[in-house]
Amino acid sequence: HLVYDGRWFTPLKDSILAGAQAFANQITGDVVVKLYKGQATVVQRRSPNSLYSEDFATFGADDVYDQSHAEGFIRLYSLASRIKALKDKGQA
C-alpha cells in the first residue's frame, strides 16, 4: 500500500520497517513452505522462541484460560467501534 499510494519515502514507511525489525530480532527457526501453482503454503515451522504449547491450546477446562474472561476482552477491544457507532447515530 505504501508504494501504491506513493508513501514509500515517508516517516510512516520508516516506522513500519522499524517495527518489523524489532519483531524480527526475536524470530529464529525453520519454516517449510510448499510452493504450488503460484501459492505458498506453510506446512511446517519450528522455533526455539515459540510461545505455542499443546498444553495450553485448548478451550476446555484448565488453569490457563477462563472462558468467562472473553466477554470482558470483547467489550474492551470493541469499545472504540461501539463509541463511533453511537456517535454516528447521534447518541454520544
Write down the H helix ranges in 26-68: none
Residue pair 47/55 in contact (Cβ under 8 Å)? The answer is no
Mean of the pLDDT values across residues 54-70?
72
Q: How many alpha carbons fall within 13 Å on the CB side of residue 62? A: 9
| Gap between the Cα atoms of 85 and 92, Å rounded | 9
Coil, helix or strand at residue 90: coil
> What digits encode the pLDDT tens for the residues 1-59?
899 999 999 999 999 999 999 988 888 999 999 999 999 999 999 999 888 877 766 66
| Gap between the Cα atoms of 52 and 50, Å rounded | 6
Q: CA 9: distance to chain centroid?
A: 25
